[in-house]
Amino acid sequence: MLTTNGQIDANFYNMIHQLADSVQLDRQEDRRKEPREAYPSTQRIATRRGSDLPDESQFFDVRFYDLTRSGFSFLVPSAPASDSLVAAIGASPNTIYLAAEVTHRTEVLVYSSGLVERAKHSAAIGRHGLNSKDATPMVLVGCRFTEKIENR
């Protein structure tokens, strides 16, 4: 029979083991060739149809999550229907338009603290003082740049 201290030690060991497993899993799934930089900003995206730049009215605001030289990720309430997008990065008149291809969609929970965690790891997070009622389900969409589009 475990004593109270023994039970606390066992619970602590299990918690650390689960966290280590989830960190190991995250590292294995991150296959980027270039370092990513956090880029928490509001940018605009639009679905790309054809080779022309979408009309300004087709762009909508998204919360960028990170950025590399080869791509970016952003958070949205639901995944975009198309895998072909255009990102409008920066403010007018210096906006850069980049075509992008969606490479992954991951369900996440976004906490008011700013923490973003994969939905499948949320049980481990709940044991660390974060309240799941404080989390908003979102989709983290990862994209790879395919070309620069010249503004008309």
Using pLDDT thresholds of 50, 70 and 90, give the confidence band for residue 30. low
pLDDT digits (tens, 9 = 90+) for 52-93: 899 999 999 999 999 999 999 999 999 999 999 999 999 888
Rg (CA), the chain: 19
131 and 63 inside one domain: yes
53 and 117 inside one domain: yes
**pLDDT at residue 120, as a whole number:** 75
pLDDT digits (tens, 9 = 90+) for 34-54: 788 999 999 999 999 988 899
Count of domains for the chain: 2
Give me the residues paired with residue 87 across strands.
45, 98
- Please state, in angstroms and rounded to a whole number, the distance separating the CA atoms of residues 126 and 110: 13
Give me the residues paired with residue 140 across strands.
75, 106
pTM over 0.95: no
Question: Residue 67 corresponds to which tokens in the numbers above?
Answer: 């950025």
Whether the per-residue pLDDT at 13 is higher than 80: the answer is no
Please name which of 54, 48, 59 lies closest in space to residue 152, comparing C-alpha atoms.
54
117 and 62 inside one domain: yes
**pLDDT at residue 52, as a whole number:** 87
128 and 86 inside one domain: yes
Q: Which helix (DSSP H) or strand (DSSP E) does residue 39 occupy?
A: strand 37-47
pLDDT digits (tens, 9 = 90+) for 99-144: 999 999 999 999 988 889 888 755 544 544 555 678 899 999 999 9
Domain that holds residue 15: 1-30
